[in-house]
């Protein structure tokens, strides 16, 4: 899973899988869910992210895998 924030567009993309998106469905104003060909959720796109989610703090808890940090 990857979280990518794009300040120039104030959008946050949460990449849940490396599988390609086959379809997208808007669920609310500025929030789109991406699904693969099998109907599995692979990504979440959030426009105007700074007004919708807390971007200043990220807490990872009890993840069953390695955590990698990439500097901005």
Domain spans in the chain, listed from the N-terminal domain onward: 2-51
Digit-coded pLDDT (tens) for 22-34? 999 999 999 999 9
pLDDT of 55 higher than 90: no
Q: Among all chains, which residue has been given the structure tokens 């940090």?
A: 69
Long-range contact pairs involving 40-44 (C-beta distance under 8 Å, separation at least 24):
41/16, 41/17, 42/15, 42/16, 42/17, 43/13, 43/14, 43/15, 43/16, 43/17, 44/13, 44/14, 44/16
Q: Among all chains, which residue has been given the structure tokens 């808890």?
A: 61
Output the pTM of the full model.
Answer: 0.85
Nearest to 45 by CA among 4, 65, 37: 4
């Amino acid at each position: 899973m990857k979280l990518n924030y794009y300040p120039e567009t104030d959008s946050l993309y949460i990449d849940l899988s490396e599988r390609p998106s086959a379809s997208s469905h808007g669920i609310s104003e500025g929030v789109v869910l991406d699904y693969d060909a099998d109907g599995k959720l692979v990504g979440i796109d959030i426009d105007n992210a700074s007004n919708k989610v807390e971007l200043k703090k990220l807490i990872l808890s009890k993840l069953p895998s390695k955590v990698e940090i990439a500097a901005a």
